Amino acid sequence: MSDTFTPKSYDGEREITWCPGCGDYGIIAGVKQALAQLQLPPHQAFFVSGIGCGSKMPDYLKANGYLGLHGRTLPIAQGVKLANHDLKVIITVGDGDSFGIGAGHFVHALRRNSDLTMIVEDNKVYALTKGQYSPLSARGWISSTTPDGSIETEFNPLLMAITGGATFVARTFSGDPKHMAQTFAKAIQHKGFAFVDVLQVCVIYNSVNTTEWYRPRVYKLDDDATYNPRDYNAAIQKAYEWGDKIPIGVLYVDERPTYEDRVAALAQGALVKQPLAGYSQATWNEFRATMM
């Protein structure tokens, strides 16, 4: 079987400006691989990102995209999805963007279960602004704004996603291209809010969580036949696991109607395909009568 779309079909025409060795190279390759696996035409994909190193991804892809503001990806993506739910809407964004400035939107996107895929390039630092600590930096993390070590508890995005209402929650690792591609493909295929945390190495500002550090620690949930991602309590337990052993793979999955499924106006098809001024004389007359 010959494929219409290969990973190269999603190549942008631009020179990529990430540092050599940056985990984002692996992530973009994984994304292209997943799109090819799903045979998703570039014009049917819509990427949304914010501002940060990782957020540059849509600029390097051949697919529709909107590179918005720092912290504001999710409401844009939800607006896009409500307007045209025939598009596959995929968010690619950094951890600072998602859980620092954008945390408020994250909590509410989870509750809604919009049919979106959110891929977080989690390097546990603010890279583009040159290495300040992020909400995912561990307590004690030393950076230019926390010279004595962060005195805050780090945010646990997987736990938040599971308890907040996401219907697909996974983790993958920028050092494992195959696992990334598989995980992204599953996430994009999932109907509902799919959240993927990607452990991303930043060779410049994070000298702790390196590929060498992660490699011996990560293990695949898929290899554990007893793990059931439909078990909510088990997923919560897994979300706490960190340190010597770090689970990757699908932690949690559930099927629930999406936000778009529940919006009456979308039952007749994507909003953008509905006529702009399609109201009949009778509809207007009926309306007028109610105001008299």
Find the part of the chain contacting ligand SF4 (CB under 6 A) among 15-23, 42-50, 185-193, 275-283.
15-23
> CA dist 74 to 32, 105, 201, Å?
21, 6, 24
Find the part of the chain contacting ligand TPP (CB under 6 A) among 121-129, 155-163, 217-225, 238-246.
121-129
Comparing CB distances to ligand TPP, the nearer of 126 and 214 is 126
Helix (H) or strand (E) holding 282: helix 281-290
129 binds, among ligand SF4, another protein, ligand TPP, none (CB under 5 to 8 A by kind): ligand TPP
Number of residues that bind ligand SF4 (CB under 6 A): 11
* Cβ atoms 7, 32 nearer than 8 A: yes
Is residue 246 involved in binding another protein (CB under 8 A)? no
177 binds, among ligand TPP, ligand SF4, another protein, none (CB under 5 to 8 A by kind): none
Instruction: Give the DSSP per-residue string, 161-207.
Output: HHHHT-SEEEEEETT-HHHHHHHHHHHHHSSS-EEEEEE---TTT-S
Is residue 238 involved in binding another protein (CB under 8 A)? no
> CA dist 202 to 23, 209, 270, Å?
6, 8, 39
22 binds, among ligand TPP, ligand SF4, another protein, none (CB under 5 to 8 A by kind): ligand SF4
Return residues touching ligand TPP (CB under 6 A).
51-54, 70, 94-97, 121, 123, 125-129, 134
